[in-house]
Structure 1
Amino acid sequence: MSVVSQTIPQLIAEEILARTEQVIAAITLLDEGSTVPFIARYRKEVTGGLDDTQLRNLETRLIYLRELEDRRQVILKSIKEQEKLTPELEKAILSADNKTRLEDLYLPYKPKRRTKGEIAKEQGLEPLADALYADANLDPEQQAQAFVTGDVADTKAALDGAKYILMERFSEDAELLTKVRRYLKQNAYLEAKVIAGKENEGAKFQDYFDHSELAIKTPSHRALAMLRGRNEGILQLVLNADPGQETPIRESQVENIIATHFGLNFNQKAGDKWMKSVVQWTWKIKVSMSMENELLSEIRENAEQEAIRVFAKNLNDLLMAAPAGAKATLAIDPGFRTGCKIAVVDHTGKFLDNATIYPHEPQNHWDKSMRTIELLARTHKVELIAIGNGTASRESDKLAAEVIKACPELKLSKVMVSEAGASIYSASEFASKEFPDLDVSIRGAVSIARRLQDPLAELVKIEPKSIGVGQYQHDVSQSSLSKSLDAVVEDCVNAVGVDLNMASIPLLSRVSGLNKTLANNIVKFRDENGSFKNRKDLKNVERLGPKAFEQCAGFLKIANGDNPLDSSSVHPEAYPVVTEIIKQSGVAVNDVISNSEFLSKINANDYTNDKFGLPTVEDIIKELDKPGRDPRPEFKTATFKDGVEALKDLKENMILEGVITNVTNFGAFVDVGVHQDGLVHISSMTDKFISDPSEIVKAGDIVKVKVMEVDIPRKRISLSMRMDEQASGKTGGAKPGAARPGQSRSVKGDQKPRSNNGSNNTNRSSNNSSNSLGGGAMGNAFADAFKNAKK
């Protein structure tokens, strides 16, 4: 076992700010098949209270370090078989703490095709290379004459061979590569230039046609934009290791690093010119290209990780949005020519009825549509009207408002609901099985109604990537994105809990310890035997064994079952603790639940034992006080301004209320009810400096914004959350010298970049297409953000 493998828990403990024994305990549980939600909630004593964020980071890091350890063993075995493993090399390999360092050490011993340096060694030129390297006073031409043989035609061939030998030796030095890599990371500039003749085709990338900025400072959205430009054949990307170098006479800093590392001092000695050419070739031919590829890959990887983090944060906020609750709901999926599709669901989300109305152009059956909505609302005792926020949404909102005004006795409320991903669900395999006889458009309306009742329960039916609350999600590693988003969904579902007798297969499959097969089996058992009466019945479900029961039971809730505790988050394994509390207090379990006065007097320490420690007992008491409590916020809705229904209705300095639909690194997108999201740039969010918009807002937040600029031809809206910021013509409220949202300034040398452009591949289901992809006052921040149309 290597040094690193012995300290994996210690390394992780330092990174997640925990004790080594906590990490060891968590790793043991994960290896035994426990899930992060289960460990975080029901094994606090074992892990010392590690939360779900720490556990997710631990899980990710554990996978990386174990892969590192496996690779380490492969490398050690390979070098041993070559009989080249020295004690010093073995120690270096055992102490390598990342994959890059490990591969650097392995580079000289890695099996490779026959190189020019190896051919030169076979020709007997290594002594020449060693001699010239050891003594710069030797004349290379004179020394090379002794090596001219049948295989070596002349002194030039001999010196070239010696050069290849030294170049390979230098470029495979792990310590040198570490130094060069460190220098490049801190000093190299990322430069983008348009490929000749691609100017018109790549107009949307025009901010990067001649762009340069310090690579280490390049934000995620700009890096991904440039990488996309390269992938589409519009841009050339290079890393400039010597920014500001105007003439070839100026020495390369990396070449100086190479020379210094190998103790080479050039001061007019006989061999200096030749040795200097060796250094130059080492950098330009051997090291430069591989380092550029490596660092560009690292920039891409870091940018992807940041984009995935942003998507995951937005998805979490969206899934944890406040539910309207168990109320009969009428949903309107709005449209003009094809009409508005209506679906009615009961308080459990069960489909009841549907209709199609044509209140808008060209039919204009306004009164008839009002009567249809009224009839459906009366018949099914509807309490909520959910209106999809796509095409004709504001017109349909007006229709619902007139119905509510005309029928006050119905006590209806209307809410605008995001359609994001509804079309994905309606055409899915699950939707076709759930509603085989319904048209896909009606299925979409059902989804809109249900997501108002419970966003989490409905959105889990849609592939997370299709919900569209990320930036550049199509440009990042899809496997990494899916893994991260799946973890978010799992955490959200288990944080809220699931009604065992109402949950769908997609929702059940996200519960700790369950999968699609077990979820199907649960629903099948439910259909054949009726509602679950207690959690113990889960043990009768096909293929649901003891481990799966342990992992899932606490997250599955049963309302009005045989045991009142089954409606809480108290795990069945902890029921004996509640039994003991009841036994000692002499009261019935129903008299304990929600009895805050009684529970406040209980001393948790009195009920701890070898199996259940203080954290678990305290959690049990909290849960008994508020059983089945929902961690999601109180339900609120934004009120869109009357008369503001389209882009043409917006005026500069207008104050509006809106809903945050998406948060990116460069700002937040806000729905203000005009079928087109506006952008609040990060600089317009607050008077204080912030590095991340998520410090201020999250998806689903209701905010007050001011209109700064409206570009009708390109369907772009610039907004501000700073009420003191003033619009001024087309430049809005931009400060002198500051880049407007989306603008970029190319920089050279030591000049600092000030660009804040980027794009956002969102699947907003409003009419968010944008025909103009050029630059302009609002820049490329909008370019891709609105290119995806409704369905």
Structure 2
Amino acid sequence: MNITRIIASELSATVSQIQAAVDLLDEGATVPFIARYRKEATGGLDDTQLRTLAERLQYLRELEERKATVLKSIEEQGKLSDGLREQIEACDNKTALEDLYLPYKPKRRTKAQIARENGLQPLADVLLADQSQDPETAANAYLNEQVPDSKAALDGARAILMEQFAEDAELIGRLRDKLWAEAEVHAQVLEGKEKDGEKFKDYFDHREPVRTMPSHRALAVLRGRNEGVLTVALKYQPDETLVTEQSAYEKIIAAHFKISDGHKWLRDTVRLTWRAKIFLSLELDALGRLKENADSDAITVFARNLKDLLLAAPAGRLPTLGLDPGYRTGIKTAVVDDTGKLLDTAVVYLHQENNALATLAALVKKYGIKLIAIGNGTASRETDKLAGELIKGLPEAGLHKIVVSEAGASVYSASELAAKEFPELDVSLRGAVSIARRLQDPLAELVKIDPKSIGVGQYQHDVNQTQLAKSLDAVVEDCVNAVGVDVNTASAPLLARISGLNSTLAQNIVAYRDENGAFDSRRKLLKVPRLGEKTYEQAAGFLRINGGKEPLDASAVHPEAYPIVAKMLDDLHISAADLIGNRDKIRQIKPAAYTTDQFGLPTIMDILAELEKPGRDPRGEFQTASFAEGINEISDLQAGMILEGVVSNVANFGAFVDIGVHQDGLVHISALADKFVQDPREIVKAGDVVKVKVLEVDAARKRIALTMRLNDDADSGSPKNGRPSENAARNNRSGSLKDKGQREKNVGNTAMADAFARLKK
């Protein structure tokens, strides 16, 4: 209940809401299922709140387990007092708990322990308690075989006091907070690494408060350290004062233990404790906290971009020609039908344009192709031009061409999944299949690819990989369940993301479908091996069956609510087929008349909304960007050009936009709008089509500065000095390439230009 109250307070929810959600999670219910079908129990907690709840629940439970371990350890040592127990039980984070445990934590034999064994603890106590005594004189009373002289005695006493000072939980907590609030990260280039570390040039001599350092700069600095280019340290006062002046931190330690200003030996002990023991530990803590915060921010950015990408509007189920561009190896071509099934493949070459056009035209006519999906990699521009010639030559075919991101296509091509699906197909041709399918339905195709290979992350290889994978898996699960899947056409990887299912059950569903034909009802899913009632409860509402025995099986209405709909039908004297989609009839239904203990008003309203628009797709409208003719390479760009592009990635410092030159440009956060922007996602998201003006171009470093404020003055000269501030929204130089954010773009990011055209009937 203590954990429940804590989470309730953090989420601004009631204890009963949180307890209900915890109980459901403990019973094995998934977040999508709870968010969609258990609103009455949780009071309408959404999937974001439930994800946060689940994470905090795990953390706080781990904290409770650690408290129990710590208490047991201290109790076994015979050192557990009532006051210490209360302190431990009151801890609300793992760091504070470990601070309290530190003096009692089993450790290797230290100098302080050896000094205690040699009888020097009383000397340390005396020197601290009675500061009027002369240390040398006091030490002479504690000499023995192991302590031959006063110097050895004082060294031992100092080691004991240093350990005591460094293990005082209250003091360490105070120093940690002060250091985090005031210290600066100082990055410097290692001698001789200037040339090799050119990409880290902005950090060759960089200082910034650790507390406010943005994630992209923190990760860049830490990467520079890991690559042996930069040194990274925490600075808490000017270097030149370290030798001559006592730091504020040393003064805090002295005051905490009531050490007088005139006691040189104790003052020296304090200085050694801070500089040789406490600071080194707290510096590691602070840099670790910086990395943890940066990881969290970067993972959040990645997750948001991935969600936008997965929920990009599908082009729809139309026969599609996928083109994977290439010069030397040719354009790999794949034809898929309206269900994504591979029909044919070919390879054509740009230098044989007539032959290429003839081959592609034959495929268009043979298979009734309506869409052409062009990968955005090398030779994409030339391939796009070839597709344009094909469309001109076949006006009667009604073709539409769209450039899509091929990020991750090569990963899919070489995967075990692709090899199993297309064992006889060349690896290069599998990429063309993926490009075609991701135009038809981005979500269905991209779930087959490791999210980290899709190219919408920021320093994704530098962050905590376990947390990243967990976060991205949650995003994929939420997106797939938000859209729902057709159980008779979905692939095993797509089915595996459905609430309650896993890879084994997904494979079993596909195998049963292949052996017995299409499912004609949701209930038939219970015949699938190892799919029991509990799994059916979790999954059924997200699985669609079109054209089956039960019309409701094609909707998001859960089978457990079918009796509610049956009562509505009886009251209206109408069939399900006649009610579904009939807005007038549906609006005659009074929701309150159908509420029960199990199904409250939220669920009834969801049912009515689903009946009105059954199987509605939450994804947006289909849109496309028109890349400018003749702009193929970064060298073709000039300051002042106004171009159309697609947002490929959104970071905390701005948005990257694909303008068709194989190098994304940056719209700094201050150049996104004519107002102050706190979060770039307030203005744009991945996949949005936007108009931008080119501010500056640095072809040598492959840097493009853009603005979405089309009245901004472009810079025809070299990059300006200085970095735009957060308040530079009205400064027409705010997109300058000198901005730190531009330099933090992950080199591996490729444009995710999944922008599509709304097809006309």
Superposed pair shares fold, TM > 0.5: yes
Matches of 1:734 and 1:672, distance apart in 2: 25
**Alignment partner, residue 268 of structure 2:** 277
Write the distance in 2 (CA, Å) between the matches of 1:568 and 1:150: 87
Query: How far did 1:693 drift?
Result: 2.1
Distance 1:451 1:96 in 2: 49
Q: Distance in 2 between matches of 1:147 and 1:676?
A: 73
Shift of 1:763: 4.3
Consecutive unaligned residues of structure 1, counting only runs of 5 or more, are 1-5, 745-753, 768-791
With 731-740 and 377-386 compared, the bigger mean Cα shift is at 731-740
Among 218, 232, 238, which residue is 2:227 paired with? 232
RMSD: 1.8
Whether the 8 Å CA contact 1:726–1:733 is kept in 2: the answer is no
- Residues 158-204 of structure 1: CA deviation (Å, up to 9, x unaligned): 11111111111111110001100110010011111222222222222
* Match among 740, 749, 762 for residue 748 of structure 2: 762
Distance 1:454 1:724 in 2: 37
Once the two structures are superposed, the pairs formed by residues 191-230 of structure 1 within 5 Å of their partners are 191-230=186-225
2:365 maps to which residue? Answer: 378
- Native 8 Å contact 2:649 2:752 kept in 1: no
Asked if 1 retains the 8 angstrom alpha-carbon contact of 2:720 and 2:736, the reply is no
Q: 2:559 aligns with which of 572, 577, 580?
A: 572
Contact 2:671–2:735, Cα closer than 8 Å, also in 1? no
C-alpha change, 1:134 and 1:311, in structure 2 (3 Å) is: same
Distance of 2:135 and 2:590 partners within structure 1: 87
SS at match of 2:345: strand
Match of 2:152? 157
CA distance in 2, matches of 1:45, 1:150: 76
CA contact (8 A) 1:710 1:716 kept: yes
Q: Which residue of 2 aligns with 1:52?
A: 47
- Which of 581, 590, 599 lines up with 2:577 in the alignment? 590
Quickly say closer, same or farther: Cα 1:736–1:678, change in 2 above 3 A.
closer
How many angstroms apart in 2 are the aligned matches of 1:390 and 1:506?
A: 26
CA deviation profile, 1:392-423 (whole Å, cap 9, x unmatched)? 11111112112222221111111111101011
Query: Counterpart in 2 of 1:62?
Result: 57
Provide the C-alpha distance between the structure 2 equivalents of 1:31 and 1:148, rounded to a whole number of angstroms.
Answer: 62
Give how far 1:670 is off: 1.2
- State the distance in 1 between where 2:598 and 2:360 align: 57
The separation in 1 between residues aligned to 2:541 and 2:720, in whole angstroms, is: 53
- Taking structure 1 as the reference length, the TM-score comes to 0.92
* Residues 1:675 and 2:662 aligned together: yes
Matched, 1:286 2:273: no
Q: Distance in 2 between matches of 1:755 and 1:326?
A: 40
Q: 1:189 to 1:692 in 2, by over 3 A?
A: same
2:167 is matched with 172
1:688 match: 675
Question: Which residue pairs with 2:258 in the alignment?
Answer: 263
Tell me which moved more, 603-612 or 366-375. 366-375
**Residue 92 of structure 2 is aligned with which of 90, 97, 100?**
97
Q: Deviations 1:563-609 (Å, cap 9, x if unpaired)?
A: 10000000011100100100111111111100111111211110111
- Equivalent position of 1:712 in the other structure: 699
Match in the other structure for 2:731: none
Cα shift at 1:235? 1.4
Q: Indicate which of 309, 321, 325 corresponds to 1:334.
A: 325
Per the alignment, residue 351 of structure 1 pairs with 342
Equivalent runs, 1:116-515 vs 2, <5 Å = 116-243=111-238, 246=241, 248-266=243-261, 268=262, 272-358=263-349, 360=350, 364-515=351-502
Give TM-score scaled by structure 2 length: 0.95
**1:511 alignment partner, SS class:** coil
Deviates more, 1:404-413 or 1:98-107: 404-413
C-alpha deviation, 1:424, in angstroms: 0.7
Q: 1:218 to 1:243 in 2, by over 3 A?
A: farther
Q: How does 1:624-643 map to 2 (within 5 A)?
A: 624-643=611-630
Deviates more, 1:755-764 or 1:247-256: 755-764
Deviation at 1:645, TM superposition (A): 2.1
CA-to-aligned-CA distance 1:365-418 (integer Å, 9 cap, x gap) = 222222222221111111111111111111111121122222211111111111
- C-alpha distance in 1, partners of 2:738/2:240? 27
Corresponding position of 2:102:
107
Residues 256-293 of structure 1, C-alpha deviation per residue, up to 9 Å, x if partnerless?
11112222231x3xxx0011011111111221111111
The residue type equivalent to 1:223 in the other structure is A
Residue type of the alignment partner of 2:13: A
Deviations 1:516-545 (A, max 9, x none): 000000000000000000000100000001
Superposed displacement of residue 246, structure 1: 3.5
Q: Secondary structure at the match of 1:343?
A: strand
Report if aligned partners of 2:691, 2:708 keep a CA contact under 8 Å in 1. Answer: yes
CA 1:330–1:734 in structure 2 vs 1: closer, same or farther (change >3 Å)?
Answer: farther
Structure 1 residues 45 and 243, CA gap change in structure 2 (3 angstroms): farther
2:705/2:737 contact within 8 Å kept: no
Name the aligned partner's letter for residue 76 of structure 1.
L
Deviation at 1:656, TM superposition (A): 0.5
How far apart in 2 are the matches of 1:497 and 1:187?
A: 49
Tell me which amino acid in the other structure corresponds to 2:283: E
**Of the candidates 519, 524, 529, which is equivalent to residue 516 of structure 2?**
529
3-state SS in 2 of match to 1:151: coil
CA distance in 2 between counterparts of 1:737 and 1:606 reads 59
Distance 1:154 1:296 in 2: 41
Shift of 1:245: 5.5
Instruction: Pick one of 541, 549, 560 that aligns with 1:554.
Output: 541
User: Is the partner of 2:312 in helix, strand or coil?
Assistant: coil
Q: What SS does the aligned partner of 2:241 have?
A: coil
Q: Is the 8 A contact 2:707 2:735 kept in 1?
A: no
Task: Report the CA distance shift for 1:199/1:221 in structure 2 as closer, same or farther (over 3 A).
Answer: same
Measure the CA separation in 2 of the matches of 1:531 and 1:123: 82
Question: How far does residue 134 in structure 1 lie from its aligned partner after superposition?
Answer: 1.1
Work out whether residues 390 and 765 of structure 1, in 8 Å CA contact, stay in contact via their aligned partners in 2.
no
**Residue deviations 1:707-754 (CA, integer Å, cap 9, x gap):** 11222333332211111111222346888987865647xxxxxxxxx8
Contact 1:401 1:414 survives alignment (8 Å) = yes
Greater displacement, 442-451 / 188-197: 188-197
Name the SS of the counterpart of 2:701 in structure 1: coil
Distance 1:52 1:247, change over 3 A: closer
Separation (CA, whole Å) in 1 of partners of 2:640 and 2:315: 33
Between 1:204-213 and 1:756-765, the stretch displaced more is 756-765
Task: Determine the C-alpha separation between the residues in 2 that align with 1:63 and 1:247.
Answer: 43
The CA distance in 2 between the partners of 1:233 and 1:691, in whole Å, is 34
Percent same amino acid among aligned pairs? 58
Partner Cα separation in structure 1 for residue 404 and residue 152 of structure 2: 75
* 3-state secondary structure, aligned to 1:216: coil
CA 1:184–1:734: 2 relative to 1, 3 Å: closer
- Secondary structure of the equivalent of 1:527? helix
C-alpha distance after superposition, 1:644-664 (max 9, x if no partner):
222232221111000111112
CA contact (8 A) 1:726 1:732 kept: no
CA separation in 1, counterparts of 2:344 and 2:37?
A: 42
Structure 2: distance between partners of 1:491 and 1:581 = 30
Partners of 1:189 and 1:241 within 8 A in 2? yes
What's the secondary structure of 2:706's corresponding residue? strand
